[in-house]
């Protein structure tokens, strides 16, 4: 969804009304297989629904969006979409989860090359800033305010996964005597706040964060 990782950490039932109580046909045609296998079909279909969600949210509010709208935009059957997602909340949660997993995989690969905590923090800052256009970390507080508590809790689990990476970097830096930090939780919030800015260069953000940590 990661909005930037900074904004991502600031953000957040049942079947939608159009399905609850609706009569569905007893016999339906099999959905068209998009990929070369069922698993590939599943992943490609989910990705198309995620792309449809992003496109439609640029045009209308979440509460005005229906599952039928998502299916039409994704080019799949309006009943077939329920083979993948129970409702709109489930689409948002799955999208946020998928984007976070992709981001963490890329971040982890980059951090494997880190030469100490200070270098790890440089990588964390730059990976976030470099990936802000590629990953969708969130859709803002307006959308999240429309989600169920259960959906928000699921998304929060992925926020914690991102936060845990930063916490580990800071803890390692403090243990190595590289960083001077009194309150790790507050420091994490300040770092992510710095990553949300769009008015300064990545180099300036990196320098600011490392100096704030005493590196």
**Angstrom distance (rounded) from CA 65 to CA 59:** 10
Give the whole-angstrom CA distance, residue 212 versus residue 169: 14
Four-residue CA torsion sign, 88, 89, 95, 96 = positive
pLDDT at site 137: 53
pLDDT at 130: 82
Angle at 133 between CA 131 and CA 137, to 5 degrees: 75
Alpha-carbon span 128 to 124, nearest angstrom: 6
User: DSSP strand E in the chain: where?
Assistant: none
pLDDT digits (tens, 9 = 90+) for 32-43: 545 556 778 788
How would you classify residue 43: left for phi > 0, otherwise alpha for psi between -120 and 50, otherwise beta?
alpha
Tell me, what's the pLDDT at 151?
85
Tell me if 170 sits within 8 A of 210, measured CB to CB: no
Using CA atoms in the order 56, 199, 98, 48, what is the torsion angle rounded to 10 degrees?
30
* Under-50 pLDDT residues of the chain: 1-4, 7-31, 33
Query: Which of these, 69, 87, 86, 90, lies nearest to 78 by C-alpha position?
Result: 69
Under 8 Å between Cβ of 194 and 209: yes
Residue 212 tokens read as 């704030």
Q: What is the pLDDT of residue 32?
A: 52
Main-chain phi, psi angles of 40, to 5 degrees: -65, -40
């Amino acid at each position: 969804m990661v909005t930037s990782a900074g904004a991502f950490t600031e953000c957040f039932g049942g079947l939608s009304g159009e399905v609850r109580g609706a009569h569905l046909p007893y016999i339906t045609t099999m959905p068209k297989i998009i990929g070369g296998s069922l698993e590939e079909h599943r992943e490609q279909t989910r990705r198309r629904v995620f792309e449809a969600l992003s496109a439609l949210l640029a045009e209308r509010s979440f509460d005005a969006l229906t599952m039928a709208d998502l299916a039409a935009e994704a080019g799949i059957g309006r009943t077939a979409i329920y083979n993948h997602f129970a409702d709109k909340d489930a689409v948002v949660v799955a999208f946020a989860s998928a984007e976070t997993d992709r981001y963490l995989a890329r971040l982890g690969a980059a951090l494997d090359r880190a030469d100490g905590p200070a270098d790890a923090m440089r990588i964390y800052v730059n990976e976030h800033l470099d990936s802000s256009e590629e990953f969708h970390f969130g859709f803002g507080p307006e959308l999240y305010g429309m989600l169920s508590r259960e959906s928000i809790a699921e998304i929060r689990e992925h926020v914690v996964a991102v936060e845990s990476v930063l916490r580990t970097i800071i803890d390692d830096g403090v243990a190595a005597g590289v960083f001077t930090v009194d309150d790790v939780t507050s420091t994490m919030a300040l770092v992510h706040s710095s990553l949300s800015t769009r008015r300064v260069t990545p180099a300036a953000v990196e320098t600011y964060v490392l100096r704030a940590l005493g590196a």
